[in-house]
C-alpha cells in the first residue's frame, strides 16, 4: 500500500498557498470516486490527506486554484490544476506538490 502527500506553493508570491481545496480521487469501473479532500494550511500542506494506504491504481489530485486566486483578487486562466497518475508500486510514498501562479502551474515527484 502507498501514501500520497502534497503541498502548494504560490510561485508568483514566493510563499505557500493557504486555503486551497485539494481532492484525491480514484478511477474505478463506476468512474472517478472521491477518496479524500482537504484545505492547505499555513505551510501550503494538507495533513492526513490519505488516512489509509492506497492500493495500486489510477488516481488524480485536483487543486481548486481558481478560487484561491479569486480570493486574493488575482485573475487566472486556470480554474483547477490536476495531477493524473498511476500508483504501480506498493509500500511507496509519493509526494506530489503543485507549483502555481496565475499564469501557469507545474508539478514533480518530491520526497
What is the tens place of the pLDDT at every residue in 27-75?
Answer: 999 999 999 999 999 999 998 888 678 989 999 999 999 999 999 999 9
Percent of the chain predicted with pLDDT > 70: 98
At 90 the pLDDT is 74
Strands 98-101 and 8-10: parallel
Report how many domains make up the chain: 1
Q: Are 101 and 12 in contact (CB under 8 A)?
A: yes
108 pLDDT above the threshold of 90: yes
CA–CA separation, 66 vs 68, rounded Å?
Answer: 5
Residues 6+ apart with CB under 8 A from 14: none
CATH of the domain at 27: 2.60.40.180
Cα 61 vs. chain centroid, distance in angstroms?
Answer: 4
At 91 the pLDDT is 77
CA angle 65, 18, 47 (to 5 degrees): 105
Q: Give the model confidence (pLDDT) of 95-104 as tens digits.
A: 999 999 999 9
Range of the domain at 70: 3-107
Amino acid at each position: 500500500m502507498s501514501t500520497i502527500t502534497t503541498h502548494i506553493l504560490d510561485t508568483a508570491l514566493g510563499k505557500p498557498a493557504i486555503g486551497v481545496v485539494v481532492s484525491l480521487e480514484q478511477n474505478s469501473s463506476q468512474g472517478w470516486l472521491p477518496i479524500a479532500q482537504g484545505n492547505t494550511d499555513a505551510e501550503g500542506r494538507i495533513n492526513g490527506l490519505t488516512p489509509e494506504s492506497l492500493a495500486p491504481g489510477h488516481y488524480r489530485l485536483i487543486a481548486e486554484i481558481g478560487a484561491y486566486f479569486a480570493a486574493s483578487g488575482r485573475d487566472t486562466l486556470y480554474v483547477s490544476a490536476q495531477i493524473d497518475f498511476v500508483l504501480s508500486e506498493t509500500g511507496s510514498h509519493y509526494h506530489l506538490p503543485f507549483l502555481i501562479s496565475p499564469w501557469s502551474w507545474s508539478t514533480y515527484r518530491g520526497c
